[in-house]
Amino acid sequence: MRVLVVEDEPDLLRVVATTLREDGYAVDTAADGEDALFKAKAWEYDAVVLDVMLPKLDGWAVLQKLREVKHTPVLMLTARDTVQDRVRGLNSGADDYVVKPFSLTELLARLRALIRRSAGQSTAVIEIGEVCVNTLTKVVTRQDELVALTPMEYALVELLVLHRQQMVSRTTIYDHLFDEEDDSFSNLVDVHVSNIRKKLGRDFITTRRGQGYMIEG
């Protein structure tokens, strides 16, 4: 899953970005509202973590302009836990918010839930045949046996599972799994898919030549 983190306070931006990368996300960053809006329009992020107080354009303005063109899930970082901020956030089309200072654990939990909801998955544990994917714990089992996936294999499985019964193009996979600092190359996706099939079964992922990949179950 690829997220954009927008925060002008360098230490906080670094801590949040590092934490999310350690949790398996591809992470792009922006330190002002204009850069944030540019990136959020340019890429299909799974979510945007958006600070309210920002240089150039504040978070509310970014949210408003973004909502004119797309519905990327947005988690606002609000400085004050006031009624006005809550009402304003929800009226402006924010999907959720956390109040500063927040714990990184809370941020991760909210972000995970937000991405799951926006993909139309109401439950955290998704079963496909004999395979079970827990998107909270990132644990995958097959016939109740734990399966060890690499972080990239897990990220790919999660993306396909959240969009099951839909064709996911290679372009979509690159957009969601690699951030702007990652220059890994295309054929790696085939390698990951091949490794996932060895672990979860040949039929777990269907390939549509020239189109992309799909979990049919």
Q: CA-to-CA distance for 26 and 179, rounded, in angstroms?
A: 5
- When asked if residue 51 is in the footprint of Ca ion (CB under 5 A), the reply is yes
Backbone φ/ψ region at 210: left (φ over 0), alpha (ψ -120 to 50), beta: left
CB of 74 to Ca ion, least distance (A): 15
Q: Is 35 in the site for Ca ion (CB under 5 A)?
A: no
Least Å distance, CB 113 to Ca ion, is 24
Please name which of 105, 91, 205, 96 lies closest in space to residue 158, comparing C-alpha atoms: 205
46 scored as a contact of Ca ion (CB under 5 A): no
- Cβ-based neighbours of 37, under 8 Å, separated by 6 or more: 57, 62, 65, 66
Q: Is residue 8 near Ca ion by the rule CB under 5 A?
A: yes
Residue 16, SS3?
A: helix
* Nearer Cβ to Ca ion (16/200): 16
Please tell me whether residue 99 binds Ca ion under the rule CB under 5 A. no
100-139 residues near Ca ion, rule: CB under 5 A: none
Chain position whose Cβ is nearest to Ca ion: 53
Tell me how far, at minimum, the Cβ of 58 lies from Ca ion, in Å. Answer: 9
Judge whether 20 and 194 are in contact, CB under 8 Å: no
Nearest CB to Ca ion, comparing residues 33 and 73: 33
Please tell me the distance from the alpha carbon of residue 152 to that of residue 166, in angstroms, as a whole number.
Answer: 20
- DSSP sequence for 136-166: TTTEEEETTEEE---HHHHHHHHHHHHTTTS
Q: State yes or no: residue 53 binds Ca ion (CB under 5 A).
A: yes
Sequence letter at residue 105: T
**Min separation Cβ 8 and Ca ion, Å:** 5
Nearer to Ca ion, 27 or 189 (CB): 27
Segment interacting with Ca ion (CB under 5 A) among 31-39, 50-58, 90-98, 110-118: 50-58
Cβ closest to Ca ion, residue 51 vs residue 95: 51
- Binding site residues, Ca ion, CB under 5 A: 8, 51, 53
